Every structure is written in C-alpha cells, then in structure tokens.
Amino acid sequence: MRAYRGRVHGGQVVLDEGVRLPEGATVTVTIGEAEFIRATLRAALRRNTRRRSRGRMLRPIYLNAHGHGR
C-alpha cells in the first residue's frame, strides 16, 4: 500500500503536484481526527463571514416646531 498527499477542493480530492495514479486504481481516502476537526471549524468560520449581517442604517427623525415627530 502507498500513501499520497492531497487536499479536498470543491468536493474533489486534488493530489499534490507530480503525483500520478494509475488509471482505474481503487483508492481509499482517510482523514485524521485532528484534520477533520480543523477542516470542520474552518468551514464553519468561513461560512459565517459570508453571512455576517450588515449594520442597520439609521434614518433621520424629523421634528416639527413643537418637538413632535410627523
């Protein structure tokens, strides 16, 4: 058995540059516990930055001569 290094990018395994596997080879992908936790946390943090809420824009309140709103 041989081991090859790579990363998951866009749901696909991308092997390091220069790695060639024979056509039709059967492969098994394993991931270590620490790498799984790190990747899960990174994905969660990345997801939250995209969905961050925007600050609310304050609208001016116009008062009449008596100090009341419209």
- Distance CA(52)–CA(41), nearest Å, equals 17
Residue 60 lies in a domain: no
Asked whether the whole model's pTM tops 0.75, one would answer no
Residue 21 lies in a domain: yes
- Distance CA(44)–CA(42), nearest Å, equals 5
- Distance CA(6)–CA(19), nearest Å, equals 9
State the DSSP code for 69: B
Domain that holds residue 25: 6-50
- pLDDT on residue 41: 86
Residue 61 lies in a domain: no
Residue partners of 31: CB distance under 8 A and separation at least 6: 39
**Is the pLDDT reported for residue 6 higher than 80?**
yes
The pLDDT tens digits for 37-46 are 888 888 777 7
Residue 59 lies in a domain: no
Q: What average pLDDT does the segment 39-58 reach?
A: 70
